[in-house]
């Protein structure tokens, strides 16, 4: 897996647990050739003690691709960063923003914002162990701490290790009392703080993340930051990537939804031979017709026929009929 593709972080898809696995990334790459893709967070101990290949394998078609890791042991993080490089990943990213109880219990994710010196040591060791970019994704604060001075100090600590790219989720993390899902909505967005960090660190690549749902918003943020990372808006409506390709990358050569369905079925056919289940691939395609004629029929068919663990690929053939009908309906309403 040594194919290298130039990294462009202007637009990226956020690492999302239970969402951005290798099947989802393949599906998203069918729509967009330009966005940067990230894996789900992979815990260092799982890589070092578990089935490494199962956790880290990917298709070269997904690239450029970053591995996001979770951990707080600098030696383990360094070892996994080297493994990421050996596997051909284009970047390794440390998670400093996840607020889940399980992550906190293991002393990584957003709770590491309380330990800037430890974060600095971890990044320094990771940088030493590999030659691919080492980046960080973090929040703007935690609990009662949402101050520019603290965030600026934290960013400075990371910068001193040679980390040149920092992704800032423009919300603080509430470490007690909120679920991870609530942490995506309840803490207020503070884009201005991210803009101010960029002003203070013009030499850093600052990527903004959080609550971004339209190309108009993307364009506004790009006036103040180097890149935009989007999560849920793309997972819920993956064809939003078409607008991003058109309007941000000036690329009009985008596959139709019908052609995407054809290609994902070809991918599924190959994957089934390796033990992949139908639902593991097709669950990521539920939002393909988001907001379009035929969306309800598409979702219902997937739900009724392709979401069970023992789903039959023969039923997948009927999806092409739905896709073709939807395409005709879309042309009529265009």
Q: Would you name the residues annotated as active-site residues? A: 98
SS3 percent helix, strand, coil of the chain, rounded to 5, is 50, 15, 35
Q: Give counts: helices (H), strands (E), the chain.
A: 15, 8
Token readout for 196 is 């101010």
102: CB partners within 8 A, 6+ apart: none
Q: Rounded CA gap, 28 and 34, in Å?
A: 11
C-beta separation of 170 from 193 below 8 A:
yes
Strand partners of residue 206:
166
What is the distance, to the nearest Å, from the Cα of residue 43 to the centroid of all Cα atoms in its chain? Answer: 15
What is the distance, to the nearest Å, from the Cα of residue 201 to the centroid of all Cα atoms in its chain? Answer: 24
Helical segments of the chain, H only: 22-31, 44-49, 52-56, 74-86, 101-105, 116-129, 148-159, 191-200, 215-221, 232-236, 240-247, 257-272, 278-282, 295-305, 317-333
């Amino acid at each position: 897996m040594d194919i290298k593709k130039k990294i462009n972080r202007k637009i990226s898809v956020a690492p999302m647990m239970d969402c951005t696995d290798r099947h989802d990334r393949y599906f998203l790459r069918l729509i967009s050739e330009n966005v940067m893709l990230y894996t789900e967070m992979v815990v260092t101990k799982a890589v070092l003690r578990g089935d490494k290949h199962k956790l880290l394998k990917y298709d070269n078609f997904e690239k450029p691709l970053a591995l996001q890791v979770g951990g707080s042991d600098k030696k383990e993080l360094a070892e996994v960063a080297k493994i990421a490089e050996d596997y051909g990943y284009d970047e390794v990213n440390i998670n400093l923003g996840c607020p889940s109880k399980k992550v906190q219990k293991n002393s990584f994710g957003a709770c590491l914002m309380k330990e800037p010196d430890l974060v600095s040591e971890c990044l320094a060791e990771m940088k030493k162990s590999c030659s691919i970019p080492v980046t960080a994704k973090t929040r703007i604060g935690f609990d009662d701490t949402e101050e520019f001075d603290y965030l600026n100090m934290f960013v400075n600590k990371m910068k001193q290790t040679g980390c040149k790219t920092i992704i800032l989720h423009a919300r603080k993390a509430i470490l007690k009392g909120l679920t991870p899902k609530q942490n995506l909505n309840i803490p207020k967005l503070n884009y201005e703080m991210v803009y101010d960090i960029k002003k203070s660190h013009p030499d850093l690549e600052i990527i903004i993340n959080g609550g971004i749902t339209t190309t108009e918003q993307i364009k506004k943020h790009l006036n103040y930051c180097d890149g935009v990372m989007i999560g849920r808006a793309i997972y819920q409506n993956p064809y939003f990537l078409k607008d991003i390709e058109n309007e941000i990358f000036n690329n009009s050569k985008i596959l139709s939804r019908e052609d995407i369905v054809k290609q994902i079925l070809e991918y599924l056919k190959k994957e089934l031979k390796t033990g992949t289940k139908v639902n593991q691939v097709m669950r990521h395609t539920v939002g393909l017709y988001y907001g379009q004629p035929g969306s309800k029929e598409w979702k219902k068919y997937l739900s009724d026929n392709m979401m069970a663990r023992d789903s039959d690929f023969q039923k997948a053939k009927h999806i092409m009929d739905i896709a073709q009908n939807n395409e005709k309906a879309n042309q009529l309403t265009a």
